[in-house]
């Protein structure tokens, strides 16, 4: 039986997630870029938007889209600068930056889980319909595991 193909390229998307990572003391240097590149090259994710936020010692917020970053950090992110779009609204960015402590920076990453596209296609081929979707932080799972082990389980 022939596999169904989507009518148009990009019609089927994998789940889209956002991730906010904080760097205390504004110590963001772009060292995560090689792994981010690897994840995108091997088809695990597709970076949709990437924003850098800095909060100075007085609480003033500076937001920078990745395409506007200069210097060594900008060079590291240059592969993403050309292909990311500004999907995150200024309100989204300000809400995230508002919870950061003073003298810290953060990277806000919006990405598609492209690894899930073939599975989603298989679900569609089987006539399945999405009912619900969610995400449980791995830290929550680790805490439950630790508690179970402490009680003699697992």
Q: Are 92 and 13 in contact, with CB atoms under 8 Å apart?
A: no
In this prediction, residue 38 carries a pLDDT of 92
Which residues pair with residue 45 across a beta bridge? none
Q: Are 101 and 59 in contact, with CB atoms under 8 Å apart?
A: no
- How high is the mean pLDDT in each 10-residue block of the chain (154 residues)? 46 90 81 88 92 90 78 71 80 90 91 93 92 87 90 78
Burial 103-140 (b: 16+ CB within 10 A, else e): ebbbbbbbbbbbeebeebbeeeeeeeeeeeeeeeeeee
- CA 31 to centroid of chain Cα atoms: 16
Q: Are 124 and 12 in contact, with CB atoms under 8 Å apart?
A: yes
Locus of tokens 């920076």 = 105
In this prediction, residue 3 carries a pLDDT of 44
In this prediction, residue 153 carries a pLDDT of 73
How is the chain split into domains, by residue range?
A: 16-128
In this prediction, residue 6 carries a pLDDT of 42
């Amino acid at each position: 039986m022939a596999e169904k193909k989507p009518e148009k390229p990009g019609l089927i998307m994998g789940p889209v997630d956002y991730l906010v990572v904080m760097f205390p003391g504004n110590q963001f240097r772009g060292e995560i870029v090689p792994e981010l590149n690897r994840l995108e090259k091997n088809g695990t994710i597709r970076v949709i938007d990437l924003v850098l936020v800095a909060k100075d010692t007085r609480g003033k917020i500076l937001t920078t889209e990745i395409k506007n970053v200069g210097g060594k950090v900008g060079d590291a992110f240059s592969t993403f600068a050309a292909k990311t779009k500004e999907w995150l609204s200024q309100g989204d960015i300000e809400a995230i930056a508002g919870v950061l402590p003073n003298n810290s920076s953060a990277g806000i990453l919006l990405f598609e889980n492209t690894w899930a596209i073939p599975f989603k296609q298989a679900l569609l081929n089987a006539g399945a319909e999405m009912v619900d979707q969610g995400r449980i932080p791995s830290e929550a799972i680790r805490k439950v595991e630790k508690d179970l082990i402490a009680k003699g389980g697992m």
